[in-house]
A and B are shown apart, each in its own frame.
Chain A
Amino acid sequence: MKFGVVVFPGTWSDRDCGWVIDQVLGAELQYLWHKDADLKGCDCVILPGGFAYGDYLRTGAIARFAPVMEKIGEFADRGGLVWGICNGFQVLCEAGLLPGALIRNASLEFRCQWTNLVVERTDLAFTSQCSEREVIRVPISHGEGNYFADPATLSRLEQRGQVIFRYCDANGRVTNSANPNGSTHNIAGIVNARGNVLGMMPHPERCAEPELGGTDGLKLFRSVAANAMKVLVS
């Protein structure tokens, strides 16, 4: 099992993801430079958080032109696991690998805080180690994480069960007060129709060790490690 972590100019969570993969999970780690036109045999490619290309024009708008993105698109089309976290989610939306867009938080503030997420599906490679409707605690750190999609796209996402994580309270109730950024339907993470491309605003790599205040994020890394090969074979 080999994880690839993409590094764009301006990416800042690459080392955090790399640490979890290499030191906590004990899986193989390969950093992928944005100019690489080869995914080097990775089974899952992570687009980490940060400000790729300075978030010029719009968050994620320029990153989609990086040579590595073309390969990631092809990899996703073949069923490869692609996991966008925070800025990585924004990049996936701009690249058209996921529907919708992330806009300015409703509060206009950069939010850096713990959130509770209800896991809506556990039949996916990313969440198989979570239990049904489990509430996981994962921090967010973003100014533009307010998920927006037009009503038709939104109802398609809901009907097909593509919403994977929703902001909720500690008891799993999806409420307005538990929504940190104004996201429609409290959406914190979605997958594509096939279920092999995940975008999420919260940072699982920042809660994979008890020293950091929680380990729920590690469940997602473990899920991917356990499932990557299965997905590629199917």
Chain B
Amino acid sequence: MIARVIITPKPVVNDPQGITVKQGLASLGFREVGDVRIGKYIEVSLEASSEHEARQRVEAMCKQLLANHVIEDYRFEIEPDGHKRR
């Protein structure tokens, strides 16, 4: 299975990278952009007997290492027959 994990800075955490990119977009004429937040994407390929089990394991991975709960939020999708992106 493949877990696609998205990590984002918590809303209360200032994201200067996001602010700078938003300004860049505005200067290119994308004035409709209200906010930009920059996070990271982690792809985890794992063995699991069910989607439920995979979900529990990835949840634990996020809590213990992949995200820092002080500054980051996470969410993920499990693709039971997912393949690695090339």
**A residues within 8 Å of B by Cβ?**
57-58, 61, 93-94, 99-101, 103-108, 146, 148-150, 182
8 additional A-B pairs beyond A57-B65, A57-B66, A105-B16, beta carbons within 8 Å, are A101-B68, A103-B14, A108-B17, A108-B20, A148-B13, A150-B12, A150-B70, A182-B16
Tell whether, in the assembled complex, residue A61 and residue B65 are in contact, meaning their CB atoms are under 8 Å apart: yes
Chain B residues within 8 Å of chain A by Cβ, number:
12
User: Distance in Å from the Cβ of B70 to the closest Cβ of chain A?
Assistant: 4
In the complex, the chain A residue whose C-beta lies closest to that of B9 is: A103
Contacts A108-B17, A148-B13, A150-B12; is A103 near B65 (CB within 8 Å)? Answer: no
Q: Does B71 lie within 8 Å of A103, measured CB to CB?
A: yes
Q: Is the pair A101, B65 in contact by a Cβ cutoff of 8 Å?
A: no
B16 touches A94 (CB 8 A): no
Quick one: which of B12, B20, B71 contacts A101, CB cutoff 8 A? B71
Query: From residue 17 to 60 of chain B, which have CB atoms closer than 8 A to chain A?
Result: 17, 20
Residues of chain A lying within 8 A (CB to CB) of residue B9 = 103
Partner of A61, one of B13, B16, B17, B68: B68
- A149, chain B: closest CB distance, angstroms: 7
Report Cα–Cα, A58/B72, bound state, in Å. 11
With a cutoff of 8 Å between Cβ atoms, the chain A residues found around residue B70 in the complex are 93, 99-101, 148-150
**B54-86 contact mask (Cβ, 8 Å, vs A): 1 or 0:** 000000000001101011000000000000000
Which residues of B are found within 8 Å of A93, using beta-carbon distances? 70
Q: Are B16 and A107 touching (Cβ within 8 A)?
A: yes
**A108 to B71, Cβ gap below 8 A?**
no
Q: A143 vs B14: C-alpha distance in the bound complex, in angstroms?
A: 15
CA distance A97 to B41 in the complex (A): 27
Bound-complex Cα distance A100 to B69 (A): 10
Residues of the B chain whose Cβ atoms lie less than 8 Å from the Cβ of A146:
14
The 6 closest A-B pairs by CB, nearest first: A101-B70, A101-B71, A108-B16, A106-B16, A101-B68, A148-B71
Assembled-state Cα–Cα distance A148/B9 (Å): 12
Which residue among A146, A148, A182 has the maximum number of chain B CB atoms within 10 Å of its CB? A148
Q: Is A182's CB under 8 angstroms from B68's CB?
A: no
> A104 contacts B65, CB within 8 Å?
no
| Closest chain B residue, CB of each to CB of A104 | B16
- Residues in B whose Cβ lies below 8 Å from that of A108: 16-17, 20
Given the complex, which residues of B lie within 8 Å of A99, measured CB to CB? 70
**How far, in whole Å, are A153 and B66 apart by their CA atoms in the complex?**
22
**Minimum CB–CB distance for A84 against chain B, Å:** 16
Chain B residues within an 8 Å CB radius of A94 = 68
Docked pose: A148 CA to B14 CA in angstroms? 9
Shortest CB–CB separation between residue A194 and chain B, in angstroms?
20
B17 touches A104 (CB 8 A): yes
Complex: how many Å from CA A149 to CA B71?
8
